[in-house]
């Protein structure tokens, strides 16, 4: 590594913090535009959904176990289980699916 | 200090912190196997508090990329926080002193934003502080644990743990999608658009950070044009 690792860390942390800080600090007025308000209301759902799918399919050792984990997480989330419960159910499902795949294969 | 909000934040932060522990465990493991020390990995987690950005940053460090490439990559991948901060700026109580915004900003992550956006009405910064008090140690300690013991952990455990973060994302979005048709449309639409980027040959070249930004802006923009949120509806659900 020819570059200094601490400079890398400083750059990473600095850029990331500025992105988070500037809108919060500079933008204090109440937004009245219905379009902007609606846009901001939909942002987290669009963003989290885009990050989840299709990335989830390639997060585990095999696509099949990932699909099982995805399906179980969807069901648990639909039943409005807590964040941790949904996450653990998904992990358990992947684990079980991969053990079964091992036996079958 | 607003004890009630702080306690509620702590409580909602517990699942986030545990989920973070699992995900950052993988980060610590990968950083150390790439030649970094456990403490350097922990320093990254403590100062960045972001998953996608750190994994991308790790690749750049290990490949000895330029500082510019690092800055640009972080900007693109983490630009979504900019949108979240805009949204949060509206959600914070108007009487919150200015200085608090600098601290709340540090804890703008997908999950902390997710839980604070799902609170009814305006929120106190102390709610976010509560969540941060659990989430930040969870993320940092997970990195340390991963760095120390990661290489001892069998591959099947790593594979199962890798899905945890997506389970958390789904737990944030699905309950609202169930009750609100437009949100359901947004969720399905966003998944479809990001899938297009994964399969269409030309679109495949777009980096993952850009995919998230483009998808978010396009899908949330279309939804806001077609189905603007009505005032009373907003008060009930956000």
**B130 vs chain A: nearest CA distance in angstroms?**
16
* pLDDT score recorded for residue A2: 64
Confidence of residue B238 (pLDDT cuts 50, 70, 90): very low
pLDDT in tens, B137-174: 999 999 999 999 866 777 787 788 778 878 888 988 99
**Percent of chain A with pLDDT strictly greater than 70:** 98
Of B67, B104, B171, the CB nearest to A7: B67
pTM above 0.90, yes or no: no
SS (H, E, C) chain B: CCHHHHHHHHHHHHHHHHHHHHHHHHHHHHHHHCCCCHHHHHHHHHHHCCHHHHHHHHHHHHCCCCHHHHHHHHHHHHHHHHHHHHHHHHHECCCCCHHHHHHHHHCCCHHHHHHHHCCCCCECHHHHHHHHHHHHHHHHHHHHHHHHHHHHCCHHHHHHHCCHHHHHHHHHHHHHHHHCHHHHHHHHHHHHHHHHHHHCCCHHHCCHHHHHHHHHHHHHHHHHHHCCCCHHHHHHHC
Contacts of A53 in chain B (CB under 8 A): 191, 194-195
Is there a contact between A19 and B186 if contact means CB atoms under 8 Å apart? no
The chain A residue lying nearest B173, using CA atoms, is A45
Of B67, B165, B194, the CB nearest to A53: B194
CA B118 to chain centre: 15
**A49 vs chain B: nearest CA distance in angstroms?**
5
**A104 vs chain B: nearest CA distance in angstroms?**
16
Confidence of residue B208 (pLDDT cuts 50, 70, 90): low
């Amino acid at each position: 590594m020819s570059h200094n690792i601490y400079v890398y860390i400083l750059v990473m942390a600095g850029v990331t913090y500025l992105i988070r800080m500037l809108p919060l600090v500079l933008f204090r007025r109440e937004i009245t535009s219905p379009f902007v308000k609606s846009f901001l209301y939909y942002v987290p759902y669009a963003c989290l959904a885009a990050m989840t799918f299709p990335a989830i399919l390639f997060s585990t050792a095999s696509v099949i176990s990932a699909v099982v984990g995805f399906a179980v997480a969807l069901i648990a989330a639909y039943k409005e289980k807590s964040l941790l419960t949904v996450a653990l159910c998904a992990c358990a499902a992947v684990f079980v699916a991969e053990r079964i795949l091992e036996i079958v294969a | 200090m607003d004890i009630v909000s702080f306690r509620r934040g702590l409580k909602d932060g517990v699942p986030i912190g545990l989920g973070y522990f699992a995900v950052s465990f993988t980060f610590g493991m990968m950083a150390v196997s790439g030649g970094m020390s456990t403490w350097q990995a922990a320093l990254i987690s403590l100062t960045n508090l972001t998953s996608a950005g750190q994994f991308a940053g790790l690749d750049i460090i290990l490949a000895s990329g330029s500082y510019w490439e690092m800055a640009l990559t972080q900007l693109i991948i983490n630009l979504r926080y900019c949108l979240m901060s805009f949204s949060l700026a509206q959600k914070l109580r108007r009487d919150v002193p200015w200085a608090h915004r600098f601290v709340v900003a540090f804890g703008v992550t997908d999950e902390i934003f997710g839980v604070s956006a799902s609170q009814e009405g305006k929120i106190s910064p102390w709610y976010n502080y509560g969540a941060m008090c659990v989430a930040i140690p969870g993320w940092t300690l997970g990195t340390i644990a991963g760095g120390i013991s990661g290489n001892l952990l069998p591959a099947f455990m790593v594979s199962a743990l890798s899905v945890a973060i997506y389970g958390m994302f789904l737990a944030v979005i699905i309950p609202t999608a169930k009750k609100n048709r437009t949100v359901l449309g947004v969720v399905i639409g966003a998944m479809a658009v990001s899938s297009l980027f994964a399969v269409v040959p030309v679109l495949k070249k777009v980096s993952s950070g850009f995919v998230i930004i483009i998808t978010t802006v396009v899908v949330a923009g279309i939804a806001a044009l077609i189905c603007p949120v009505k005032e009373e509806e907003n008060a009930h659900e956000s």
